[in-house]
Structure 1
Amino acid sequence: MSAPVLVLNIGSSTVKYELLDGRSGERHAEGLAERLGEGEGLLTHTAGDGARSVKRLERPDHETAMAAILDAFAEWGPDLSRITLTAVGHRVVHGGSRFSAPVLIDDRVVKAIEELVPLAPLHNPANLVGIRIARRIFPGVPQVAVFDTAFHQNMPPAAYTYAVPPDWITEHGVRRYGFHGTSYAYVSRRAAHLLGRPPESTRLIVFHLGNGASAAAIDGGRSVDTSMGMTPLEGLVMGTRSGDLDPAIPAYLCRSAGLTPEAVDRALSRESGLLGLAGAGDMREVRRRAAQGDPAAVLALEVYRHRIRKYAGAYFAVLGRVDAIVFTGGVGENDADTREKSLAGLERLGVAVDPERNRAPGPAEREISPAGAETAVLVVPTDEEREIALQACELLGSG
């Protein structure tokens, strides 16, 4: 490995990790510690040769999970004690307006991420846990923070400004920040390559569709608009999040139903979306129920696809010209029905999906629109860990 980078993507109950070469992108190991905070956790480690090993963890927390991950590298390889790491790269969800690029982590940066916790109370605290543990375990290794929000920091003011009282903006940081930026950075660059165009002259609409879902209008490799807002709640319908709704609804429910603000916030974030409409947050289960004739699941799919189609049309207007619509994320990469039916009716905009190309097995990165289509439709698998490793190496001058 010429530039080995350990990438940590830490959530409230998971630690996802990869060891890869920051220059070539070659993977040497990856894994997931999950169910942290529960009675029994699980660690799955996959070495570079594809060999997979599983270990059960008794009453794990993030600290014990990181210790188990180090043991997994020592036992199943490659042994981190024999590798001089170039960096440890950390995914940090919210960088506010302070961070528009990756940064070398020091005490000042840790304090700034702490101050941003109110903007991402479910994510930044877990990211900080990983940073503190990694700084202690790897004291001599540069630690780099890569922010989900950074890619969107150059949006024009008209796109990120909400029409609210000015002190909300200046004193409380109320504005559109956007998320999934690491994914958009990687996918937009790969899409331009697939089109045979330089990124700086390519205009794209990208849909990152997973349990969390968002859309972005990207002009010349820069975000000019995105669907998620101050938090990851705004925009598309998601697994458990509502996406767009009338902003008066929370206050109405507090008055009419006697709900507390915390209860409304919890419901919109964890009990809405596909889960609220269909009783299941996983797209595969919703489609299975719809195929069996469940009317709630049928409606959920219609609402989900309608929202995607609406954002596609809006971002055509924002960009003026669109070279490609790109699907990525777990649903975007694997659900042919979602891709085809979400774009149905946009033929006058030069958008069409070829059914055979859309459903045929093929290379991971591929075009699924008819040959010669005015606006290409692409599938590009995301690789956020590779992007984090690349950005870490570029920051350190090792890329």
Structure 2
Amino acid sequence: MRVLVLNCGSSSVKFAVIDTQTKESISSGLVENIGVNGHVKAKGPVGNIDFNFDCPTHAEAVAEVQKFLAEQKLTDTIEAIGHRVVHGGKYVKSERVTQEVIDYIRSITLFAPLHEPAHATGMECATKFFPGLPQVAVFDTAFHQTMPQKAYLYGIPYEYYEKDGIRRYGFHGTSHRFVTGEAAKILGKKPEECCFITAHLGNGSSCSAILNGQCVDTTMGFTPLDGLVMGTRCGSIDPAILFYLNKKYGYNVDRLDKLVNKESGLLGLSGLSNDMRTLTQAASEGHKGAQIALDVFCYRLTRSIGGIAMALPRIDALVFTGGIGENSRVVRKTVMENLTLLGYQIDEARNEKNGKESGHIISKDGTPTAMVVATNEELLIALDTEALVK
């Protein structure tokens, strides 16, 4: 089956046409700067495009996607549409898109204000420009809904969980679920037989503890702000810091939101960049801020891995994924050297090649297994879509 995978963000639409049989991407692209001066860049079997265009809303963006796919002679081959949805709220698995699903996604806008309205609008636009095609919503939060109550509740009055749904939801679930399956294959086992710690590391980062194929704990919480230090997000901090900044500098909610979501993390610590590649290079050249950011990122990640390990009876593999996890040799090396208490030892040669010549494994033989597994969220969305529409 050929599935059009749509990822509608606050100001962008990312898309790919995935063949679920070959598991390959036939066409892909990105429409960005929606609401300003739209820009589309896409590639396909017939040719590529790269230009600016008038794009005031998501409707024009999805229309441009449809136009491009028609030019690539792919429109008639697409049998279903799969949507990535950041926050699923009550949903514990992927769902066929109905008006009820769209309405619910809009109803939890406060959970993810930048994303949920865009997801709902994307589904409505897909209905308009791809009439008759079944659609599926795949939720980033769904995989984590197997966490026990002791893991997902916050230490605030229980009434806020009951009436407002305030709890830890977790994110990056599609990625954590995908690499769980792949890591099990690498070990020659079924996911139901394995215990993993999966570390999805990118501009947004999170760790999860996976027991018998199910998530039992994760570092992100009510929103994707919680947990690890990230590209521009602060991760877990003492909430009283926000009260302090409000009282001392008069920062209102919007200013604090911008501070912790857009100005913190690697960018804020380094004063240089949120890009790990830039920071690694700068740190090697003696940039103090870059080294501080790298040290804090790796330490917080190490501490989170150690803590989340307590949710498991054993660890069959530590799995690195995401842009940083798959490509940063320095981060993996630093973290594993910090995990000597758990017995991890890195194989320098294997790590240098990102595990590509050693069956994904980057740890030394005879020591606890650590591996690098490339994530493929679009493929999993396509496979979920196929399973639900067939």
1:368-394 superposed Cα distances (whole Å, 9 cap, x missing partner): 111232x21111111101000111111
In the alignment, which residue of structure 2 is the partner of 1:43?
40
Closer, same or farther in 2 for the Cα pair 1:140/1:59, shift >3 Å?
closer
Q: Which amino acid aligns with 1:79?
A: L
In the alignment, which residue of structure 2 is the partner of 1:381?
374
1:157-306 aligned at under 5 Å gives the runs: 157-279=149-271, 280-306=273-299
| Greater shift in the superposed pair: 53-62 or 340-349 | 53-62
Q: CA deviation at 1:59?
A: 4.6
- 8 Å contact 2:88–2:142 — kept in the other structure? yes
Closer, same or farther in 2 for the Cα pair 1:48/1:343, shift >3 Å?
farther
The answer to whether the aligner puts 1:393 opposite 2:386 as a matched pair is: yes
Closer, same or farther in 2 for the Cα pair 1:338/1:362, shift >3 Å?
closer
Q: What CA distance in whole angstroms lies between the structure 1 residues aligned with 2:48 and 2:195?
A: 40
Candidates 305, 317, 339, aligned match of 2:332: 339
Structure 1 spans left out of the alignment, 5+ residues: none
In the alignment, which residue of structure 2 is the partner of 1:73?
69
1:119-167 superposed Cα distances (whole Å, 9 cap, x missing partner): 0111111111211100111221111101000000111111101111111
The answer to whether the aligner puts 1:16 opposite 2:14 as a matched pair is: yes
- TM-score, length of structure 2 as denominator length: 0.95
Q: CA deviation at 1:106?
A: 1.1
The answer to whether the aligner puts 1:315 opposite 2:314 as a matched pair is: no
Q: CA deviation at 1:60?
A: 5.0
1:168-215 superposed Cα distances (whole Å, 9 cap, x missing partner): 111111100000001111110001101112110111111101111111
1:75-125 superposed Cα distances (whole Å, 9 cap, x missing partner): 2x2431x32x331100111011x1001111111111110111100111111
Count of residues in correspondence between the two structures? 388
Where 1:343 maps in the other structure, the secondary structure is helix
Structure 2 spans left out of the alignment, 5+ residues: none
Q: What CA distance in whole angstroms lies between the structure 2 residues aligned with 1:320 and 1:109?
A: 37
- 8 Å contact 1:205–1:218 — kept in the other structure? yes
In the alignment, which residue of structure 2 is the partner of 1:4?
2
Where 2:160 maps in the other structure, the secondary structure is helix
Q: Which amino acid aligns with 1:238?
A: M
Where 2:189 maps in the other structure, the secondary structure is coil
Closer, same or farther in 2 for the Cα pair 1:355/1:189, shift >3 Å?
same
Candidates 110, 124, 129, aligned match of 1:132: 124
| Greater shift in the superposed pair: 111-120 or 51-60 | 51-60
The answer to whether the aligner puts 1:61 opposite 2:45 as a matched pair is: no
The answer to whether the aligner puts 1:87 opposite 2:77 as a matched pair is: no
Q: CA deviation at 1:23?
A: 3.9
Where 1:114 maps in the other structure, the secondary structure is helix
Q: CA deviation at 1:228?
A: 0.3
- 8 Å contact 1:23–1:393 — kept in the other structure? no
- 8 Å contact 1:327–1:380 — kept in the other structure? yes
Q: What CA distance in whole angstroms lies between the structure 2 residues aligned with 1:239 and 1:58?
A: 30
Q: How many percent identity over aligned positions?
A: 43
In the alignment, which residue of structure 2 is the partner of 1:144?
136
Q: What CA distance in whole angstroms lies between the structure 1 residues aligned with 2:209 and 2:68?
A: 41
- 8 Å contact 1:161–1:176 — kept in the other structure? yes
Q: Which amino acid aligns with 2:94?
A: P
Q: What CA distance in whole angstroms lies between the structure 2 residues aligned with 1:143 and 1:345?
A: 45
Candidates 113, 127, 135, aligned match of 2:105: 113
In the alignment, which residue of structure 2 is the partner of 1:34?
32
- TM-score, length of structure 1 as denominator length: 0.93
Q: Which amino acid aligns with 2:379?
A: R
- 8 Å contact 1:105–1:145 — kept in the other structure? yes
